Structure 1
Amino acid sequence: MRRTVADAVAATRSSGSPMAGRTALVTGGSRGLGREIAVAFAAAGADVAIVSRKQEACVELAAELAAATGQRVTGHGAHVGEWGRLDALLDEVEDGLGPVDVLVNNAGIAPVYPSLDEVGEELFDKVLAVNLKGPFRMMAVAGRRMAERGGGAILNVSSMASGRPTASDLPYAAAKSALNTLTAGFAQEYGPTVRVNTIVAGPFRTDISKAWDMDAVHDMAQSWPSRRVGEPEEIVGAALYLCGPTAGYTTGSLLTVDGGRLAAP
């Protein structure tokens, strides 16, 4: 069951305010892992811009989160796969909240398809646009601004599919594998003042998991060290660390948060 904003805020604030004074932009921020990251950042003292294709959901969460934390939180509608929208999106966020010094590229899609030979060009392009092209442009634009202002942190959310691809998620896995590569390249481009890292996420119980055969997933999980899928709030510790002040020497890194899935046979 998804935690309320109030419960999530209380849990994060018990560990201090490591994001105080920061301004963060979180794509795919209205639900799932992005929602938990946005809530945790605001609870930890950041002003936050929540972005997804569904502006109404972003605005609703922003209002609730602002009321719960006292931080400035804004909601924005944008499709990150639309290259031409992203410069304007960043301008829009910075006009309201000031310079963005934390970017979280969390938005992603993994549509199902019957077989690889039936993957159409439209589906393939859509998957790469959201999972790879959008993050590339967001990192390029936001990273340059951060570097010119003296620093910042970029966090990408990748997937264990990048290291354990299957025929049923191959375009998605390829895009996430390329996102891992971008992490190293952008860390070089904008270092030393801008840090760029990636969380390689395993199976989490989010809206996407509603389409899973949970009995089959439970059986599969018995071979993983954790013996279970993750809860969305369990992404928070890694996100706060990688974007926070104690990770000053961590950049170009892939941090796996998957309950040991990739370590399993």
Structure 2
Amino acid sequence: MGKSLSGKVIVVTGGSRGLGREMALAFADEGADLVIASRKLDSCEELATLIRDKHGRRALAVACNVGDWGQCEALVEAAYAEFGRVDVLVNNAGMSLLYPSLDQVSESMFDKVIATNLKGPFRLSALIAARMAVAGGGSIINISSIEAVRPEPMAVPYAAAKAGLENLSAGLAQSYGPAVRVNTIRPGAFDTDIAKAWPEEMRTALSQVNALRRIGAPADIVGAALFFASDASAFCSGATLALDGGWR
């Protein structure tokens, strides 16, 4: 049986750790070549080496702060210079900053959160979708958050950015269809490296607010990511998949 992503080229931002790393490894296992992008080049190189050695796929590591449009453009150029095309873009890079109260959120903090979670995905999607459409098609997957629809007091700017990202997905799906499909995955609480900072009582509480009574393991994102990246979702565009264990 063939690999579902054999010969595809996939760009994953925020790809060196957490959910991005998990998706990149799954894509490679299904036959894709990867462009791994994040701010830390060393981490990207480490994962790219693993993909080459373990899966025998080509992998390019690129340092990129997606909040900077110039770096977004450089990432796109590097991907096309190396592979000649991009079949799937995963806008996974995201960030939220801690603040004592909303009135103490500085302009620079707010701008940084919006830039990483919304501005960067807009620019990368616009640049790559235009080329995908000319080449005959492609898929864009935006990684949102349950915060987009259930904002918590400690993450209001982040929640607003993710809500904007979901709206962006819907608009991009209309703008670049029928050739390019654009869909959203909306994760709930996942046990990634960020979760290591959670106090035990928070971890316990989060495991009780959904129907499955647990927080997500990184591998839990793989099925949804493979679905949207592959032809299995050929008639799916502008959709948002809640991946939260049945949040109540």
Which TM bucket (shorter chain)?
over 0.9
- Could you report, residue by residue, the CA deviation over 1:112-144 in whole angstroms, capped at 9, with x for unpaired residues? 111101100000000000000000000100000
RMSD: 1.1
Inter-CA distance 55–192: structure 2 relative to 1 (3 Å threshold): same
Inter-CA distance 32–16: structure 2 relative to 1 (3 Å threshold): farther
How far apart are the structure 2 equivalents of 1:220 and 1:254? Answer: 22
3-state secondary structure, aligned to 2:144: strand
Identity %: 50
**Aligned-residue offset at 1:212:** 1.1
* Contact 2:37-2:62 at 8 Å conserved across structures: yes
- Could you report, residue by residue, the CA deviation over 1:39-71 in whole angstroms, capped at 9, with x for unpaired residues? 000110000000000001101110111111111
User: Which residue in 1 is equivalent to 2:73?
Assistant: 87
3-state secondary structure, aligned to 1:107: coil
Report which stretch shifted further, 16-25 or 233-242: 16-25
Task: Name the aligned partner's letter for residue 240 of structure 1.
Answer: L
Aligned length: 248
User: Which residue in 1 is equivalent to 2:124?
Assistant: 138
User: Which residue in 2 is equivalent to 1:39?
Assistant: 25
Task: Name the aligned partner's letter for residue 33 of structure 2.
Answer: D
Task: Name the aligned partner's letter for residue 173 of structure 2.
Answer: A
**Aligned-residue offset at 1:170:** 0.2
Compute the TM-score of the two structures, normalised by the length of structure 2. Answer: 0.98
Residues 149-188 of structure 1 mapped to structure 2, 5 A cutoff? 149-188=135-174
Report which stretch shifted further, 66-75 or 127-136: 66-75
Query: Is 1:63 paired with 2:49?
Result: yes
Report which stretch shifted further, 81-90 or 137-146: 81-90
Alignment gaps of 5+ in structure 2: none
User: Which residue in 1 is equivalent to 2:224?
Assistant: 238
User: Which residue in 2 is equivalent to 1:105?
Assistant: 91
User: Which residue in 2 is equivalent to 1:21?
Assistant: 7
- Could you report, residue by residue, the CA deviation over 1:59-108 in whole angstroms, capped at 9, with x for unpaired residues? 11101111111110111101000011111211111111220110000000
After TM superposition, the runs of 4+ consecutive aligned structure 1 residues lying more than 6 A away are none
Compute the TM-score of the two structures, normalised by the length of structure 1. Answer: 0.91
* Contact 1:39-1:65 at 8 Å conserved across structures: yes
User: Which residue in 1 is equivalent to 2:186?
Assistant: 200
User: Which residue in 1 is equivalent to 2:234?
Assistant: 248
Task: Name the aligned partner's letter for residue 19 of structure 1.
Answer: L
Alignment gaps of 5+ in structure 1: 1-14
* Contact 2:170-2:238 at 8 Å conserved across structures: yes
- Could you report, residue by residue, the CA deviation over 1:132-165 in whole angstroms, capped at 9, with x for unpaired residues? 0000000100000000111000000000000100
3-state secondary structure, aligned to 1:38: helix
How far apart are the structure 2 equivalents of 1:28 and 1:227? Answer: 28
Report which stretch shifted further, 81-90 or 233-242: 81-90
**Aligned-residue offset at 1:219:** 3.0
* Contact 2:206-2:215 at 8 Å conserved across structures: no
Residues 221-236 of structure 1 mapped to structure 2, 5 A cutoff? 221-236=207-222
* Contact 1:26-1:34 at 8 Å conserved across structures: yes
